[in-house]
Amino acid sequence: MIKIGSHTLSNPLVAAPLAGISNSAYRRIMHAFGIGLVVTEMTSAKAITYGNQKTLKMLEITPDEGLVSLQLFGAEKAALVEAVRVVNDHSNASVIDLNAGCPVPKVVDSDAGAALLKDPEKAYALLSAMVQASNKPVTVKIRTGWNDALMTGVEMAQLAEKAGVAMIAVHGRTRAQKYLGNASLDAIKHIKEAVSLPVLGNGDVKTPEDAAAMLEVTGVDGVMIGRGLLGNPWLISQTLDYLQTGTYDPCVSVADRFRVLRQHATYLEALKGEKIAVLEMRAQASHYVKELPHASAFRKGLMPLQSMARVHAHIDDYEADLTRRL
């Protein structure tokens, strides 16, 4: 089992942070399906120090989210330390994570996220300060390097261990790759072999077989799953079954799929209010139905809807139509 400070994960599966997605509604769904740990969408350390109310709202963790890691991003030591102190005092998150892998230009241009891969010593200084300021375990998410000429993943991991972090997650791509090409299992393996603390492998895990291969090839302690969970929380239970027994049921009933979709919509409306929930459910609902017949027509029908009642009615109509056809 993976230990992060005083916390022991119930299984080796971790839900990756997804910007604009890994909110409380999403985290509740992931926990209900048995995820070992779920990481929040990244939160700006500076915004926390400014007392931004929208940002502070992101620090709230409900009891039915399970074990949660709150991810911060930033490049200034003072801001990160103050953000850690705020999280310590005002959040029920069990773990604090530093994002050192986000490839998005607006993050990198602020010297945060994957930009830290260009300066491992700076990352070490930031992590050391966070660890010293925190009464919660601190972890870090990295990539294999900045580009093929600057493969700093091993150095980053070793310095993170020296700084006192409790766990490292490694996305198997460089910043230059962003999300293109294939994640390198070999690069993840080299990083795992360079440190003694727990390491998670991340990248291209879309099936239980992918998760098993990640564990077997790289020797990592756990698997972090990102886009593979969008609209597909069943991947969690399927993967746990596969890792334990070598088999799993790949089938998800139409009724079960729409039951979870409606629950996600309900959670999202309670969290963000009807207007924003309707907008966000256009994307979330699309993920849940992407493999079903006539999904494109369903998605098109969602676009003009303005109320959650209409969204639920549209879901009901689509489910009824599918049930008649199948």
User: 56 pLDDT band (50/70/90 cuts)?
Assistant: confident
Looking at the structure, do residues 86 and 156 belong to the same domain, yes or no? yes
Percent of the chain at pLDDT above 70? 100
251 is catalytic: no
Looking at the structure, do residues 77 and 225 belong to the same domain, yes or no? yes
User: 39 pLDDT band (50/70/90 cuts)?
Assistant: very high
* Total of domains in the chain: 2
DSSP conformation letters of 228-249: GGTT-THHHHHHHHHHHHS---
Domain CATH number, residue 269: 1.10.1200.80
Looking at the structure, do residues 260 and 299 belong to the same domain, yes or no? yes
Looking at the structure, do residues 304 and 161 belong to the same domain, yes or no? no
What's the pLDDT at 52? 78
Looking at the structure, do residues 199 and 288 belong to the same domain, yes or no? no
Looking at the structure, do residues 104 and 124 belong to the same domain, yes or no? yes
pLDDT tens, position by position, 236-295:
999 999 999 999 999 999 999 999 999 999 999 999 999 999 999 988 999 999 989 999
Q: How far apart are CA 150 and CA 210, in angstroms?
A: 27
- Boundary (domain end) residue, out of 213, 245, 277: 245
DSSP H helical ranges for the chain? 24-32, 45-49, 53-57, 77-90, 105-108, 120-133, 153-163, 185-194, 208-218, 234-245, 254-272, 274-289, 295-302, 308-325
What's the mean pLDDT in 109-115? 97
Closest CA to 100 of 75, 134, 137: 75
What's the pLDDT at 259? 97
Domain CATH number, residue 109: 3.20.20.70
Neighbours of 83 (CB within 10 A): 27
Looking at the structure, do residues 179 and 236 belong to the same domain, yes or no? yes
Asked if residues 207 and 229 have their Cβ atoms less than 8 Å apart, the reply is: no
Token pair listed for 225: 């799953």
Give the range of the structural domain holding residue 284, as residue numbers without chain letter.
Answer: 254-325
Looking at the structure, do residues 44 and 186 belong to the same domain, yes or no? yes
Looking at the structure, do residues 73 and 199 belong to the same domain, yes or no? yes
- Boundary (domain end) residue, out of 193, 222, 245: 245
State the Cα angle at 49 between 120 and 25, rounded to 5°. 90
Asked if residues 322 and 292 have their Cβ atoms less than 8 Å apart, the reply is: yes
- Boundary (domain end) residue, out of 214, 245, 276: 245
Marked catalytic residue, from 102, 133, 165, 211:
102
Q: Which of 159-173, 187-201, 306-320 has the lowest mean pLDDT?
A: 306-320
User: 178 pLDDT band (50/70/90 cuts)?
Assistant: very high
Looking at the structure, do residues 169 and 263 belong to the same domain, yes or no? no
For all residues of the chain together, what is the average pLDDT?
95
Looking at the structure, do residues 40 and 138 belong to the same domain, yes or no? yes
Please provide residue 181's backbone torsions phi and psi, each rounded to the nearest 5 degrees: 70, -165
Token pair listed for 36: 């070992």
Looking at the structure, do residues 100 and 39 belong to the same domain, yes or no? yes
By CB atoms closer than 10 A (0-12, 13-18, 19+), residue 314 is middle
Q: How many angstroms separate the Cα of 140 from the Cα of each of 42, 72, 209, 324?
A: 12, 9, 26, 48
What's the pLDDT at 213? 98
Closest CA to 11 of 42, 36, 46, 43: 36
